[in-house]
Structure 1
Amino acid sequence: MSWVSSPDNAPWQPLGSRWGMGYVDLGADSLHRTYWKNPSIISNDNTSMRLEYKLGPLVIAVSRSLRDDGMTFHESYNFRNVGSECLDLDGPQGTSIAIFTPFNDHYTNTKEALQNRAHAHLWANGGSNAWVKMTQMGGHGPNLGLVVTEGSLRGYSIESRDRTTMSNTRGVFQLHPIIDKLAPKEQKTIAWSMFWHDDWDDFFEKCAKLSSQFIHFNIPSYTLIGDEVATLQMTGAVSGKTTVNGQKVVCVKNGRCTAKSDRWDGLVQVETPGTEHSARLYLNRIESVERLVDSRIRFIIEKQQVFNPGKPGDGAYAVFDNQAQLIAFWDTDNDRNLGRERVGMGILMARWLRQHPDDDKVRNSLKRYYKFVCEELQDETGYVLNGPGNWEKRLYNWPWIMQLHIAVASTDLGTIGTRGGETPLERFEKTMESFYNEGGGDLYPIGLPVLESLRHLQSVGAEGLFGRAKNLFLNHGQRILDRGVDYPPFEVNFEQSIVAPAAIMLLEIFRVTKKSKWLDGAELQMKTLLRFQGKQPDYRLHDIAIRHWDGYWFGKDRMWGDTFPHYWSTLDAVALHHYSYAKADEACKKRADGIILGNLALFSQDGEASCAWIYPLSINGRTGHYKDPYANDQDWALNYLLYLKQDDEHVRKEYEKTFMDRN
């Protein structure tokens, strides 16, 4: 297992960004980047080492030592001003100082990733309460943890992302200490300890033992609705003197402290007088989920639907530039065209119309959109284009069109807009047959509507089509079952949205058939899938799966780097939702709901949306930590919000029917 990238296991990474090197901004004369990389060795033995780097007026002393019989590794970075003038190290981005920590989070290929690579779950935005949990992608043996024991971190950045390595590496991580200003002779230190651990509970327990400034938070919900009360339960570096946004906490004998408020929104600061500890966490508060979805739908109809009567593209839902306040017709790349992922907006409209059949604006909008799909995104055989006029085969597109046809079939829209008066179910059948004829049985498909389509077909008495669809899905599922964790590469070598579809498909088949082999296979997938999730105390990160390329492919600013949250993390919510029903596990249902709510960070109450929340402070030197200006494909998050609500309603009705039949 290689926990840290090095020339041996990551030859594409620059040598100057190896572990423990870094840079500091010493002003314009050094073009704001002075790197430390040539140390003087002060001492070195079998269990410890001391180094020094001299960068003009700044001396950086690095100490490393093995402790606890070699079971922990301690590292400290001391920054000392030996000059005669104050050093201002508090730059505008908070990135004036960076320590390279190249965690080995890369997707070279599935086999090596599962055997030798690790997911890096960073909590670097937490101030004095900062940590990193490395989780082996394949779940073999112990994991590696890092907890800050002295000083504070402001956040992290990413470098070395480009079109060569593409989407298969998270790049080089940089941790940013909070040093701010250093007066002459003044010094400040950032230190951490690294240790072995098993699961998340073991990780947090060991963090508390190793760091006197660590706080473990237990927060029921990171997204609050309306005037809902937020509850923070804390253990670790807290006491009766601790305050949360200035409000004193209540502590009990076992060391657990609690604070509550119906006002917290955004940054929440936890401080204890008499110490330098200042921990941070982040909550989100929205006015109403229903009103948020309604506002988003109005926004799409009014600003993102193409109005071009009698001409190509009329009725399509398009990418919207929130800066220009225009549809981005000038951006013609496939990831921004009128097809592909944008189909999610159409499915969202159909789901909303099913719940609100009297909404004529949505009805009329969906009619125009469905006509566009049937005439410009499909041919008469069911073949799905990769955008209007683009016949390049991309199998991912088929399941989304299948999902659209089933969603429309669940409304009273009828045959409007279809070729030759075909019904949505007839279009679904042609799309399904085309998908499997084109090789779809080998795809790990995102959004294949296994459970939804079979339920609908059964409910309308389409027994022949039901049997055909079920056989195709079962054969497809068997291939995924047989492969186990031997995932094939698709658009990325190995990623969360390869594993999630495998888990979802097997779970949906289990919910249809009730045969244990499908649940057994799904549990193997779930173990792999949930390792992508972190437990950081931030609504954008907590339980949100790692993704780090979508801002580049789908955003206006073409930014690489971590996207937290990203709407495809709601695939984890779908998997956990189905798993909760399969196992009668309410905790999984709660996690699923939390992931959906976390993704509402991509939307504003006025209906604006962003396709990617770029989380790092900077990527390749460009300022990050913001929402990309494009409203593109993020509406899948709202689609799944409505889908899971629809499934809950179905389960409730089935339970009531069963109860009435028995009585």
Structure 2
Amino acid sequence: MAAQIESEHFSIDIDNTTGAIVSISSPRSEGDMNWVSSPDNAPWQPLGSRWGSGYVDLGADFLHRAHWNNPSVISSDHTSVVLEYKLGALIIKVSRSLKDDGKTFHESYSFNNAGTEDLDLDGPQGTSIAIFTPFNDHYPSTKDALQRRAHAHVWANGGSNAWVKMTQMGGHRPDLGLVVTKGSLRGYSIESRDRITMSNTRGVFLLHPVIGKLAPNEKKTIEWSMFWHNDWDDFFEQCAQLSNQFIHFHIPCYTLVGDEVAALQMTGAVNEKTTVNGQSVVYEGKGCYTAKSHTLKGSIEVKTPGIEHSARVYLNRLESVEELVASRVRFIIDKQQVYDPGTPRDGAYAVFDNQAQLISSWDTDNDRNLGRERVGMGILMARWLREHPGDDKARNSLEKYYNFVSEELQDQTGYVLNGPGSCEKRLYNWPWVMQLHIAVGLTDLDTTGIDGDESPLERFEKTMESFYNEGGSDLYPIGLPVLESLRYLQNFGTKNLLERAKELFLNHGQRILNRGVDYPPFEVNFEQSIVAPAAIMLLELYRFTRDPKWLNGAELQMKTLLRFQGKQPEYRLHDIAIRHWDGYWFGKDRMWGDTFPHYWSTLDAVALHHYSYVKADEASKRRADGIILGNLALFAPDGSASCAWIYPLSVNGRTGHYKDPYANDQDWALNHLLYLKQDDEYCQKGHEKTFMDKI
């Protein structure tokens, strides 16, 4: 090692060849948690993308990516190290030191133009300069993730108000935080995502500083401090103490509807001269300033005199949630339903390519076929029809679709096909078809004449029995309709069928209860949509049975689940769970990298919704509603939609920060919106005396 910087709070190891950091750890913590990716915990990571290495676009002579990774050490001791890199006329000086009696670790990156001509480091995509910051956010296995890995909640699009909160996946504290103390960040990118690393890593992170144009002999700097903390409140408090340009935003909701007033409460680097999109702020006392407006939306600039760069927050605004759902329903009917009489495809809901303005019939991969996640469109249609029984277009569309599912996605035993004609077993598909049968059963849809002439109730029973006969009790199923099924059977089933469903669900729940946080791997080793189904199932069992063991088990699941959520001041990110592979598997462009928002993050909303009812917790209800509203960014007013918002500025060098062109499986967000709305209505009618009776 060229240097080891250490105190009783920090231990930092630096590679003697590249000058990159290969380990950041806390001597005070238990275990061997390294908070950065290194040869030991991420051996697949390229040598040139270790922490503190980077690149800059110096033009064609440098192939547009000149990397700094071969330094000369200027000085070092046990508390600091200074390294220098030279790339043509650009000199990069990296300084690292412990401050505040060793409690904080400080990094500074200075860029100096030693040449005689201007250097423009501000490319059109904002990615012409990058510092590698490979946070240890990987899922080799559940046990390893819960012990040795951390969720990286990155806020790099906030300009001068940029930070990263790392949260240890298993809740073993302290956690590591980073706050920018000088300069500004434009965003972040992801690299090293491919068919080798697959879905079990978020890849390598790159932070993009705002440097811009450097005149001869001009120098600009980006600096940040790292520190240990315990929770979000502690994190934000320390950010404010360490950075004189940090702003903590208190925003009730990041997605506004109609003429709702946006209320931005701010503490930290704000004063009476601060402006929000040019508007003055109002002092509320206790260091808090507020900006209110009916027009605030999109990118909002917060400028405080004396701070070189501005901060940014992002709000979304919708005209009407009801109109948005109505437009989406109409779009599905008009553009995403297959009309091909006499063929097995007739009536199916399909993936739509917003670029070609056609159903993508040429793309037949499993994640784009006529079954699987696309069933969510059918459930949405049924929930919509339940609320709008006079919508004849929706009724006719759903009749055709339900016929398609009953004849082409299931056989007479209730077995759910992976797609028309495919008997490949994928147990995730069964709960969605179960949901469809219930949702259709709750409408007045005429299902006579459909293959087998069975009622939705009979089809539900067959699907449920088939699911458990095929091994469903070992799955952590996304969307298993436990509470909705049991209520449905209470009203429309027989006593024997209700008891049978309870038996199956209770046995399944007991398996999940027994395992605790020992989650089995499924399509990804460890992910939010493994933990969320466990929390939801236990909460739904509690709501139906009132047996406290289910609530006790759910509390443990909720703690693990909520660590996937960040608190960035942006509607696509705030409380939205980390997901980072869906763009590749479900999108047209097959882009890896973070997908914010992603519709399965609304599983967290379902869990928080149930939790709010059993705990009489208004804050959880508001949080659930905020997650649902955040996901409405996936839908446009004309009813078109995208299956994934690729959030990073770039992924593997490809331009990001855009909606993927495919409308594929995002309608689960709207399905959950209507499900939670209908559950609220059920409780408000007095069918369940819980949360609504206490507020």
TM-score by length of 1: 0.99
**Of the candidates 80, 99, 102, which is equivalent to residue 48 of structure 1?**
80
Q: Tell me the distance in 2 between the aligned counterparts of 1:208 and 1:442.
A: 46
Q: Shift of residue 657 of structure 1?
A: 9.1
Which letter maps to 1:443? L
Structure 1: distance between partners of 2:98 and 2:216: 32
Quick check: 1:566 aligned with 2:566? Answer: no
Picking from 303, 309, 316, the partner of 1:277 is: 309
Alpha carbons of structure 1 residues 657 and 18: separation in structure 2 relative to 1, 3 Å: closer
Q: Output the CA distance in 2 between the equivalents of 1:274 and 1:417.
A: 74
Q: Structure 2 matches for 1:487-502, cutoff 5 A? A: 487-502=519-534
**Structure 2 counterparts to residues 162-311 of structure 1, below 5 A:** 162-311=194-343
Name the residue aligned to 2:397.
365
Q: How does 1:92-107 map to 2 (within 5 A)?
A: 92-107=124-139
Partners of 1:408 and 1:155 in 2: how far apart?
44
Q: Which has the higher contact order (CA 8 A, sep 6+)?
A: 1
SS at structure 2 position matched to 1:547: coil
Q: How big is the shift at 1:413?
A: 1.1
Partner residue in 2 for 1:2? 34
Within 1, Cα distance between the matches of 2:251 and 2:173?
A: 29
**Could you report, residue by residue, the CA deviation over 1:218-242 in whole angstroms, capped at 9, with x for unpaired residues?**
0001000011100000000000000
Q: Residue 414 of structure 1: CA displacement?
A: 3.6
Give the direction of change, closer, same or farther, for the CA distance of 1:542–1:656 in structure 2 (3 Å limit).
Answer: closer
Q: Residue 300 of structure 1 aligns to a residue in which SS?
A: helix
Measured at CA, do residues 353 and 555 of structure 1 come closer, stay the same or move farther in structure 2, by a change above 3 Å?
A: same
Alignment of 1:645 with 2:670, yes or no, is: no
How far apart, CA to CA, are the structure 2 residues paired with 1:531 and 1:656?
Answer: 30
**C-alpha offsets along residues 407-428 of structure 1, whole Å, 9 cap, x if unaligned?**
0000011423532210000000
Aligned twin of 1:474: 506
CA offset at residue 273 of structure 1?
Answer: 2.5
Q: SS in structure 2 opposite 1:559?
A: coil
1:265 Cα shift? 1.3
2:491 equivalent to 1:447: no
Q: How far, CA to CA, are the matches of 1:166 and 1:542 in structure 2?
A: 26
- Alignment of 1:654 with 2:690, yes or no, is no
CA contact 1:21–1:35 (8 Å) conserved in 2: yes
Inter-partner Cα distance in structure 2 for 1:218 and 1:224? 15
Query: Does structure 2 retain, via aligned residues, the 8 Å contact 1:372–1:417?
Result: no
What is the alpha-carbon distance in structure 1 between the residues aligned to residue 479 and residue 165 of structure 2?
A: 30
Alpha-carbon distance between aligned partners in 1 of 2:690 and 2:377, rounded to the nearest angstrom: 35
Counterpart for residue 68 of structure 1: 100
What amino acid sits opposite 2:199 in the alignment?
Answer: S
Indicate yes or no: 2:182 matched with 1:136: no
Aligned to 2:577: 545
Alignment correspondent of 1:384: 416
Change (3 A) 1:326 1:6: same
Q: Secondary structure at the match of 1:487?
A: coil
Change (3 A) 1:520 1:656: closer
- Contact persistence 1:614–1:626 (CA under 8 A): yes
Distance (Å, rounded) in 2 between the aligned partners of 1:15 and 1:193 = 24
What are structure 1's unaligned runs of at least 5 residues? Answer: none
Number of residue pairs matched?
660
Deviation, 1:165, is: 1.2
2:91 corresponds to which residue? 59
Whole-angstrom CA distance in 1 between matches of 2:237 and 2:143: 31
Query: CA RMSD, aligned part only?
Result: 1.2
Secondary structure in structure 1 of the residue aligned to 2:626: helix
- Is 1:91 matched with 2:123? yes
1:577–1:162: structure 2 CA closer, same or farther, 3 Å change rule?
same
Note if contact 1:368-1:417 (Cα within 8 Å) is conserved in structure 2.
no
The structural deviation recorded for 1:277 is 3.3
Q: Distance in 2 between matches of 1:311 and 1:606?
A: 30
- Equivalences for 1:407-486 in 2 at 5 Å? 407-416=439-448, 418-486=450-518
Give the Å deviation of 1:94: 0.2
Cα offset, 1:274, TM superposition: 3.5
1:332-347 mapped onto 2 (5 Å cutoff): 332-347=364-379
The 8 Å contact of residues 86 and 184 in structure 1, kept in 2 or not, is answered as: yes
The question of whether the paired residues in 2 share the 8 Å contact of 1:48 and 1:66 is answered with: yes
CA distance in 2, matches of 1:630, 1:582: 38
SS in 1 for 2:513: helix
Instruction: Verify: 1:555 aligned to 2:587, yes or no.
Output: yes
Residue pairs, 1:391-406, within 5 angstroms: 391-406=423-438
Is the counterpart of residue 590 in structure 1 residue 607 in structure 2? no
Shift of 1:656: 9.2
Aligned-pair CA distance for 1:461: 4.7
Deviation at 1:255, TM superposition (A): 1.1
In the TM superposition, what is the alpha-carbon distance from 1:191 to its structure 2 partner?
A: 0.2
Does residue 384 of structure 2 align to residue 352 of structure 1?
A: yes
| Contact 1:132 1:147 survives alignment (8 Å) | yes
Q: Distance in 2 between matches of 1:272 and 1:543?
A: 27
Q: Distance in 2 between matches of 1:131 and 1:343?
A: 39
Q: What's the secondary structure of 1:11's corresponding residue?
A: coil
Amino acid at match of 2:201: T
8 Å contact kept, 2:642–2:662: yes
Secondary structure at the counterpart of residue 244 of structure 2: coil
Residue 23 of structure 1 corresponds to which residue in structure 2?
Answer: 55
Does the Cα contact within 8 Å between 2:571 and 2:630 map onto a contact in 1? yes
Cα distance in 2 between the residues matched to 1:198 and 1:417 = 61
- Letter matched to residue 62 of structure 1: V
Aligned pairs (5 A) from 1:149-164:
149-164=181-196
1:318 to 328, 334, 350: 350
Secondary structure in structure 1 of the residue aligned to 2:685: helix
Q: Does 1:119 align with 2:151?
A: yes
CA distance in 2, matches of 1:99, 1:237: 25
Secondary structure class of the residue paired with 1:654: coil
So what's the TM-score if we normalise by structure 2?
A: 0.94
Q: Partners of 2:49 and 2:689 in 1: how far apart?
A: 63
Q: Which of residues 605, 610, 613 is equivalent to 2:637? A: 605
Q: Deviation of residue 30 (structure 1)?
A: 1.1
Task: Tell whether the 8 Å contact from 2:583 to 2:644 is kept in structure 1 after alignment.
Answer: yes
Relative distance call for 1:152 and 1:381 in structure 2 (3 A) is same
The alpha carbon displacement at 1:29 in A equals 1.5
Show CA shifts across 1:493-513 (max 9, x none): 000000000000000000000
Q: C-alpha deviations, 1:345-366, integer Å up to 9, x for none?
A: 0000000000111110000000
Q: Distance in 2 between matches of 1:10 and 1:182?
A: 36
